[in-house]
Structure 1
């Protein structure tokens, strides 16, 4: 084993052991304490950066350092509160590792893990809101988030409590992804649901256009069926 591979192996094994033995009240544990210190240093580094684009780039640079820890925590199945792993979830979203973030999200929701201190949102709300916000940013940048990410996010957070506006926004961007992936009927359903939750969500004009398209498509199909056989 090379040194880096060995180090990753040690971190992962430490995470699995730590998750089994850490005090759930004080959250103390040697390995966890070390990871917290590393994360605090990285957070101080990120705080000095004003550019969100640059922050995302730095997160992509440092996230591999936490991958063995997260893998160990997810493998342990113990469900201990872990602020390091929860922050990694948020960082992964910012860095564009959406499925990696949702892997943590599934674990966090299964064991009712809370967001780190000073975060007022529930975990389900944070996942839905952060993914939807990224979907908007990437859509504007003409680099849309893949449909399967939004579908998975919706399925994961469907039963979670959150403000209606947050869920409406997730339905909104799911609808855009469905429309742009040639799924006009599901897109219509998503946008109608978004409007039910928040009439100011901002999809009315696009919904009208999509409904006209579907109506025209239906008329074309009906006309073709009525043609006599040749």
Structure 2
């Protein structure tokens, strides 16, 4: 099975440095749910405070990278027990921020399926954050002449409803960006009809794609004449 088909099948139903705090978490033993969640919350609060005190984006990313292995077992435990905790969506954001797109998207779609909300400091729904994060990464990949697949198409399937009963309810500006990139990818692959359809939808949502759409339509005319 190709990587693309694996992702489409898997998510069809979705949607330590010296500055690191020294709190130690214990996964095993007889600790109960309430105790474990409280312990995770206290440790996470310390680490978020440490992150908040760092001004450098690069240094923040370095600390997030160090925190990933610290919390990996707790993320796995929360998922295995089907418990909700802000660590799950926080961990997802860290993964996106350090460029671990596959792990970030897998966890993100899990959080969407389980209706796990973003931490209180966020004003957007989890699926909107997932969509925006993947799009930002995908645009950067495309502009660097690298393929954003299969991750872009996986999320685009939720944007246009192919991977869910109904499309994700995203702001029009964000949806427009998805259709724009989809059109550019289809054009690059030589699928002009699909490119035209995506770019028309992008334009209808307010994207500035007039020049590219005109070029695609001109190529289609030349192809049929």
Same fold flag (TM > 0.5): yes
Alignment match, 2:108: 105
Unaligned runs of 5+ in 1: 1-9, 23-28, 220-230
CA distance 1:189–1:92, shift in 2 (3 Å): farther
**Equivalent residues, number:** 194
SS of the residue corresponding to residue 91 of structure 2 reads helix
1:52 paired to 2:57: yes
By how many angstroms is 1:64 displaced? 2.5
| 1:67 maps to 2:69 | no
Question: Is residue 37 of structure 1 aligned with residue 45 of structure 2?
Answer: no
Contact 2:78/2:84 (CA < 8 Å) preserved in 1?
no
Equivalent residues in 2 for 1:73-222, closer than 5 Å = 73-76=78-81, 78=82, 80-140=83-143, 142=144, 144=146, 146-157=148-159, 158=161, 159-197=167-205, 199=206, 201-219=207-225
Deviations 1:80-105 (A, max 9, x none): 43101111111211211222122222
> Quick one: distance in 1 between partners of 2:194 and 2:59?
36
Q: Which moved more, 1:81-90 or 1:57-66?
A: 57-66
TM-score when normalising by structure 1? 0.70
Whole-Å separation in 1 of the counterparts to 2:61 and 2:210: 32
Higher RCO, Cα 8 Å, sep 6+: 2
SS of 1:120 mapped into structure 2: coil
Separation of aligned partners in 2, 1:124 and 1:95: 19
CA displacement, residues 94-136 of structure 1 (integer Å, 9 cap, x when unaligned): 2112221222222222222211112111122121122222333
Cα distance in structure 2, aligned partners of 1:195 and 1:112:
32
